[in-house]
Chains A and B, each alone.
Chain A
Amino acid sequence: MRNYIIKRILLVIPVIIIVALIAFFITNLMPGDPVRVILGNFATEEQVIRLEQELGLDQPLIIRFFSWLSRVVRGDFGNSIYLDAPVSEILLSRIKPTFMIAVSSQLLGLVMGLTLGITAAVNHKKILDQLSIGVSLLGISIPSFWLSLILIYIFAVRLGWLPVSGFSSFSEAGLGALRYLILPSVTLAFMQAGLIARMTRSAMLDTLKQDYIRTARSKGLSAKVIVLKHAFRNSLFPVITVIGHSFAVLLGGTWIIETIFVIPGTGFLAINAIMRRDIPVIQACIIFVAFIYIILNLLVDLSYGLINPKIKYN
């Protein structure tokens, strides 16, 4: 097990280097010159050249790449072109809101998704099954930006229960921070719930057909024990895979939601950086998301062994 973990962690290094390579070249080859964005429409060529030199953008791409890579492996992503501050510091300051939104959405999505999925499977081909499928389909299909605007309209504009936008941490606002978390979390959780519910239903239906479930029923075990202890636990593998992947997708989803709700997280930072062609920030955000994605995949793989002790890692 330990060897397996070490091997997997070591494998992260080449993957991150490949991601870094792609991030660097994509951001540097995309159209839109950050210098002209900063200087505006009426900059003279002299001003452009001067700023290019200041930012080191006058160097050949390949030299810039190696210089950048040597800094990145030491955790230094350079300075933000727009905000004129170290990117790593900016990124660190933005992780907390994203993490809060992602975790609350995931928890909410899990509760909603598992409830919908199990209900659908247990009531297979009944009206509750159809309803659950319908709700989960909506979750997958409705664009999160649209849903967020609808939720804002209903719960903030019409009912006045929740704020339209903004963010506050628990350390600043105590439980009042929850008011800012609810709408973005519900928006993202709805999509999560859809994904988790569909996979839970499908896995549960497969499991419920197994012989040992029939045996359990014939032994006279209660429906609750059969569903939750036997069927659900044995359906967890695909569900956990989906949860892991959906959490990674969720991190991408926060990019839009953070922008709409003005939550100062990594997504909001990334979207603004793209609009401003703040190349060092875009690169750091890409690498950050890739890193989280890889770590989550690793955790999902390792969790299989915890759920089913029969699984051995070689």
Chain B
Amino acid sequence: MKEVLILKKSIFIITILLLIMMTFSTAAQNETEGVYGGRLNAALKMSAPHLDSDNSTDSQITAMMNHVYEGLFEFDENLQLQPHLAESYSVSDDGREYIVELRQDVMMHNGEKMDADDVLASFERWVNINGAGNLIKPYFDQAEKLDDYRIRFKFEEPYAPFLNIMASPVSNQKFVVRAKEIIDVFGDNVINRHVGTGPYQVKEWIPDQNLSLVRFEDYSPNQMEASFFAGKRTPYLDEIVLNFITDAQVRVSGVQTAQFHFAEEVSRDQYQLFEADANINTQIIYPDQMAVFVTNNGIAPFDNKYARKAMVYALDLEEMGFSMVGNPDFWRLEPSLHEEGNPWYAENVGEGIYNVYDPDKARELLEKADYDGTPLVILSGQDSQVERQGAIAIKDQLERIGIEVELQLFDRPTVVERRSELEGWNIHLSSFIKTVPDPQIHQGWTGTNKWITNWNSEESREMDAIFERMVREVDYDQRYQIVEEFYEKMWETVPYFNMLDYSRLHITRAELKNFEPAWQTFFWNTWLEE
């Protein structure tokens, strides 16, 4: 009888232990493993003309097609370059040769395996027709196939930014691998049949309405740990529908009603409202955007560096932050063009000038620059809240110290056209992407000795020389020193400057799990839970 009791007791204890173990293991599994299935509906802010990233500078194309195409290299969440379709790579000591070994057994959407022919065909097309490819063209010699899974990229001169530019989200378009058979058919024309290696493939594309993607069942994931665009991509969702909804409030309502699981770029003013809603998660993007104060350096008064420096002293940047963005959760003062954590971040740049609000000093510098009091024309966009409010705030602050200002707010096409002129404007407020993975790819400097600010003087040529050295230096430490030199020169001559960094706000439904707030939105590794 006693034995039976002990046995019963033991069985009871074991059962309890098993139940506890099962509960914990299920919980642990839920934390690490997603749920397959479901259709995700996302509301994006704008559409794209087509889906061929090589044939456009529109970053929206890359953002959407990251699900379909992959690069040889991709960036992780710390903007560190990681091999993706590449297995490994080596760079020669002189920086003229890159040998890239490809991953084997990577399936493409046409059922074929990716090999060096696909990569070479894609690379040649990208170099020839894409703006990013054009950046490297002056330095490039040839790409050759060593065997089915090895490629050698040769340069005529040492070229340090090569791998970063190939994976960059800001260098017009990143390099992605397409099936050679598609490139043979379309050549340089816009591709409308998409065969890549990504976790999703295109199901349907209706311009101005939506892009529908379905899981690629034979997807061959990279086995590295997932981190933003690098590492393992798991396509949990059966289908992803990217809808183009231009009105922000409609995007918000769509998430509130569960019609959409994700809404891109919604009003920051509604942040508290979203925070109070249990069905909605807020996603603040960081690093994200920079509000850049651009001067027309081709004409007076900003052809003189003292006048440009005067603008830095004339602006109360904290006040600007509140005027342009509002809630300080969404903006921060940052003089560096790279965010903290970025390999090219430089601390203490702009010391003694950035965020030193000193109207007297500004007046003194303007006098030194022989500024004759001609009204300054501020040219800015009226569609973006940051640009519109920023331009108004700049006007107010400059008028406060006695500078006469004419404010011109237009829609984007008009602003782009007018800003390309040499005359007719003095100040322009522009938004630059903050996620700059290589110091050579600053948006203000196009890589061809042409400054967006009409800057063409002895000072700009000195800066070009710094960039030239930066391009050739392949050693990170040496290159970092050149970057510091660049910052020093930049704050000495101020061709343009970053007023502040700011973040966009996205929202997601609570059912959408494991969403990562990256600079370009992606939905692999996310899943839906009821």
**Stretch binding the partner chain, chosen from B311-319, B393-401, B416-424, B496-504:** B416-424
Q: Is the CB of B208 within 8 A of A44?
A: no
Q: Is the CB of B411 within 8 A of A32?
A: yes
Query: Does B254 belong to the interface (CB within 8 Å)?
Result: yes
Q: Is the CB of A44 within 8 A of B256?
A: no
Query: Does B454 belong to the interface (CB within 8 Å)?
Result: no
CB distance from A288 to the nearest CB of B (A): 17
A39, B413: Cα distance in complex, Å: 11
**Stretch binding the partner chain, chosen from A10-18, A98-106, A217-225, A264-272:** A264-272
Q: 19 A-B contacts, Cβ less than 8 Å apart? A: A31-B410, A31-B413, A31-B417, A33-B416, A36-B413, A36-B416, A41-B452, A42-B446, A42-B452, A83-B50, A83-B207, A149-B249, A152-B253, A164-B250, A166-B259, A261-B250, A262-B209, A264-B206, A264-B209
A-side interface residues toward B, CB under 8 Å? 31-34, 36-44, 47-48, 82-84, 149, 152-153, 156-157, 160, 163-166, 259-262, 264, 268-269, 272, 275-277
Task: Write out the residue numbers on chain A whose beta carbons fall within 8 Å of the beta carbon of B49.
Answer: 38, 82-84
A154, B412: Cα distance in complex, Å: 33
Q: Which residue of A has the minimal Cβ distance to B245?
A: A262
B-side interface residues toward A, CB under 8 Å? 47, 49-50, 57-58, 131, 172, 190, 206-209, 243-247, 249-250, 253-254, 256-257, 259-260, 410-414, 416-420, 430, 443, 446, 448, 450, 452
Task: Write out the residue numbers on chain A whose beta carbons fall within 8 Å of the beta carbon of B253.
Answer: 152-153, 156-157, 164
Task: Write out the residue numbers on chain A whose beta carbons fall within 8 Å of the beta carbon of B172.
Answer: 40, 42
Q: Which residue of A has the minimal Cβ distance to B445?
A: A42
Q: Which residue of A has the minimal Cβ distance to B446?
A: A42
Closest 10 CB pairs of A and B: A32-B413, A31-B414, A33-B417, A40-B57, A164-B253, A32-B414, A164-B254, A36-B416, A277-B413, A37-B413
Q: Which of B50, B190, B207, B443 has the most CB of A within 10 A?
A: B207
CB distance from A92 to the nearest CB of B (A): 14
Task: Write out the residue numbers on chain A whose beta carbons fall within 8 Å of the beta carbon of B245.
Answer: 165, 262
Q: Is the CB of B446 within 8 A of A157?
A: no
**Set B208, B410, B418, B443: member contacting A42, Cβ < 8 A:** B443
Q: Which residue of B has the minimal Cβ distance to A165?
A: B250
**Set A43, A163, A259, A277: member contacting B246, Cβ < 8 A:** A259
Q: Is the CB of A163 within 8 A of B259?
A: yes
Q: Is the CB of B416 within 8 A of A37?
A: yes
Task: Write out the residue numbers on chain B whose beta carbons fall within 8 Å of the beta carbon of A268.
Answer: 208
Q: Is the CB of A157 within 8 A of B452?
A: no
Known: A32-B416, A83-B49. 11 other contacts (CB 8 A): A34-B413, A37-B416, A41-B430, A47-B131, A160-B257, A164-B260, A165-B243, A259-B247, A262-B245, A272-B246, A275-B411
A32, B260: Cα distance in complex, Å: 34
